Amino acid sequence: MFRYEVPEGAQLIRVWINGKEWQVPEGLTMVQAMWHTGHEVIHGIGCLGGVCGACAAVYRMPGDFHLYNALACQTLVKADMAFSLIASFPSQRANYNIETLPDPKEGLFELYPESATCRNCNACTEVCPQGIDVRDSVWRAVFGDFKTVTEETMSCVMCGLCVSRCIAEMAPHEIALYARRAYGARELPFPENLKVRLEAVHAGSYDADLDRLGGLDPNLLKKECETK
């Protein structure tokens, strides 16, 4: 049976999970520490690989007034850490069709009018577990610089932690998603190499060859495919 191993010689440390005190070996992630203490975690786990954003968590360290955030599947517990999962944070999502939207730049203000109300507190940037300059991305979106939004926010895992902190009550990650899609679908030209290949496929250029290969007896097919 497979197990997530505790490193040899790991010391026990004290942590608080959802407000309750536990002893766990060091070297575990927050999620593993929850398993270790018998918690069944379903809301709050998706990929276990740091990309799905299901495992948003908040934590504090003693003697430190800061409230920290993390992805619980990727963050190691530390001695005296107190943490909780926030498996879902509600936010507004616009309903639109990116392909037919008349003017994507104007569209932002219709779909997300609150995007223009950023108060520059920078809380979103400070909270982002992916290290994204979220505040800047909101401003760039408002100014119509969707290209820069794209570059800044590509690693967003949609965990919603920025929403939990925004004093203007907006959903910066949804705004960024909109801006990225508008950039990809409406600003960038359709890629020429794909266009050319699509035309050839639709003209049936490969049908005869593929049909022939598909009709070969397995030994002949193997022979044809053997060399690169």
- Residue among 167 and 213 whose Cβ is closer to ligand SF4: 167
Of 32 and 130, nearer to ligand SF4 (C-beta) is 130
- By CB under 6 A, tell whether 132 contacts ligand FES: no
Question: How far is residue 51 from each of residues 31, 129, 190, measured CA to CA in Å?
Answer: 15, 11, 28
Q: Which is nearer to other proteins, 94 or 168 (CB)?
A: 94
d(CA 29, CA 75): 5
CB 41 within 8 A of CB 35: yes
CA distances from 93 to 129, 134, 166, 175, 226 (A): 21, 17, 15, 9, 51
Whole-number Å distance between alpha carbons of 35 and 14:
15
| Residue 7 sits in the site that holds other proteins (CB under 8 A) | yes
**Quick one: which of 85, 157, 179, 182 contacts ligand SF4 (CB under 6 A)?**
157
Report the nearest approach of other proteins to the CB of residue 61 (Å).
17
Residue 217 CB, nearest distance to ligand FES (Å)?
Answer: 47
Our CA dihedral for 3, 4, 5, 10, rounded to 10 degrees, sits at -140
Task: Report the partner that residue 76 touches, choosing among ligand FES, other proteins, ligand SF4, none (CB closer than 5 to 8 A by kind).
Answer: other proteins
Residues binding ligand FES (CB under 6 A): 45-48, 50-55, 71, 73, 157
Residues binding ligand SF4 (CB under 6 A): 118-124, 127-130, 132, 134-135, 138, 156-162, 165-168, 170, 172-173
